[in-house]
């Protein structure tokens, strides 16, 4: 699949858009040195955008819980935010939850954050060779589309929307990620070279009936599912500023 996408990428105009699933999407963004937009709609993309919307100074993204604790030793003032399998990591300040962050917005303002999640954080860290790495979903769709298009025009590179999928299961779809990626892509007014079919139906229904949506609803996280399906409720656009060792520094841009 990646080889087919790369062959198309060499033929198509650089100002074009791809939607690709999971690790294949990360590899495509790296190989094309494109502008990567990491889309983990339930819930990492929404949580990172919400953290910056609420005034967090910066977010340090790591793949593993152990790395978060090690980083905390060097940043004792930082908040720990994250989950594993949809449940808050023991000892962390907050889960990977946009509504939890919104309720605690006064505590977040001006703070440094260390963030990890089951899938989205790892996808972001896998896009190291992309010319730029943004984080997007439905809640910041218009804003992230604008920034991604500006970066692509400046660098004359394609845009790869990485629909994060399911960590550890290859290129398995997450329906809500594909739907969110289409919401962003359609705002760019650029040719879409390659993309899976857009899920049909209202976003709220697509999110709630997705595999991950059902898991979150079963855990009583209805508010997060509802929040993550909203469109354009923030203009915050997270962008990777640099990598330091195993961590990525993310700040607001746009």
pTM tops 0.85, yes or no: yes
User: Which of the four pLDDT bands, split at 50, 70 and 90, describes residue 11?
Assistant: very low
Is residue 13 over pLDDT 70?
no
Is the pLDDT at 156 greater than 90, yes or no?
yes
Where do runs of H (alpha helix) occur along 61-197?
65-74, 98-103, 105-108, 120-125, 141-155, 175-185
Q: What is the pLDDT of residue 28?
A: 97
Segment 104-143, tens digit of pLDDT: 999 999 999 999 999 999 999 999 999 999 999 999 999 9
> Which residue in the block uniquely carries the two structure tokens 């930082």?
78
Residue 191: both structure tokens together? 């040719």
pLDDT tens digits, one per residue of 160-194: 999 999 876 555 789 999 999 999 999 999 999 99
What residues contact 43, with CB distance under 8 A and at least 6 apart? Answer: 96, 97, 98, 117, 120, 216, 224, 228
Q: Where are the domains of the chain?
A: 2-43+129-237, 44-120+241-249
In the block, which residue shows the tokens 């660098």?
155
Helix (H, G, I), strand (E, B) or coil at 193: strand
Torsion of CA 20, 24, 30, 36, to 10 degrees: 30
Residues paired with 79 in a beta bridge:
113
Confidence band, pLDDT 50/70/90 cuts, at residue 220? very high
Q: Is 148 helix (H, G, I), strand (E, B) or coil?
A: helix
- What does the alpha-carbon distance between residue 163 and residue 37 come to, in Å, rounded to a whole number? 9
The pLDDT of residue 200: 94
What was the pLDDT predicted at 241? 98
Residues 6+ apart with CB under 8 A from 119: 40, 44, 164, 165, 166, 167
Q: Is the pLDDT at 145 greater than 60, yes or no?
A: yes
Residues 40, 177 contacting (CB under 8 angstroms): yes
Q: Which CATH architecture has domain 44-120+241-249?
A: Alpha-Beta Complex (3.90)
**Per-residue pLDDT at 14:** 75
Mean pLDDT of 237-245: 97
d(CA 20, CA 173): 10
Q: Which residues of 223-244 are buried (b: 16+ CB within 10 A; e: fewer)?
A: ebbebbbbeebbbbbbbbeeee
What is the H or E stretch that residue 19 is in? strand 17-21
Per-residue model confidence as pLDDT tens digits over 188-213:
999 999 999 999 999 999 999 999 99
DSSP 206: H
Mean pLDDT, rounded, for 41-64: 98
């Amino acid at each position: 699949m990646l080889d087919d996408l790369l062959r198309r990428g060499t033929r198509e105009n650089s100002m074009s858009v791809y939607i690709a699933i999971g690790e294949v999407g990360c590899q495509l963004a790296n190989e094309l040195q494109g502008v990567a937009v990491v889309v983990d709609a339930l819930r990492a993309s929404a949580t990172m955008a919400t953290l910056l919307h609420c005034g967090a100074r910066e977010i340090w993204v790591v793949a593993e819980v152990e790395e978060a604790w090690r980083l905390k030793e060097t940043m004792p003032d930082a908040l720990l935010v994250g989950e594993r399998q949809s449940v808050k990591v023991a000892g962390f300040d907050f889960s990977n939850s946009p509504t939890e962050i919104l309720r605690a917005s006064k505590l977040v303002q001006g703070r440094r954050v260390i963030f990890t999640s089951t899938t989205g954080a790892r996808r972001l860290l896998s896009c190291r060779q992309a010319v730029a790495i943004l984080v997007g979903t439905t809640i910041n769709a218009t804003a992230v589309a604008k920034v991604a298009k500006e970066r692509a025009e400046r660098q004359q590179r394609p845009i790869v929307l990485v629909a994060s999928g399911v960590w550890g299961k290859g290129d398995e779809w997450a329906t809500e990620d594909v739907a969110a990626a289409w919401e962003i892509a359609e705002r760019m007014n650029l040719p879409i070279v390659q993309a899976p079919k857009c899920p049909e139906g209202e976003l709220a229904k697509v999110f709630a009936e997705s595999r991950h949506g059902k898991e979150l609803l079963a855990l009583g996280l209805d508010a997060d599912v509802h929040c993550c399906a909203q469109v354009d409720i923030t203009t915050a656009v997270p962008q990777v500023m640099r990598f330091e060792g195993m961590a990525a520094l993310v700040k607001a841009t746009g």
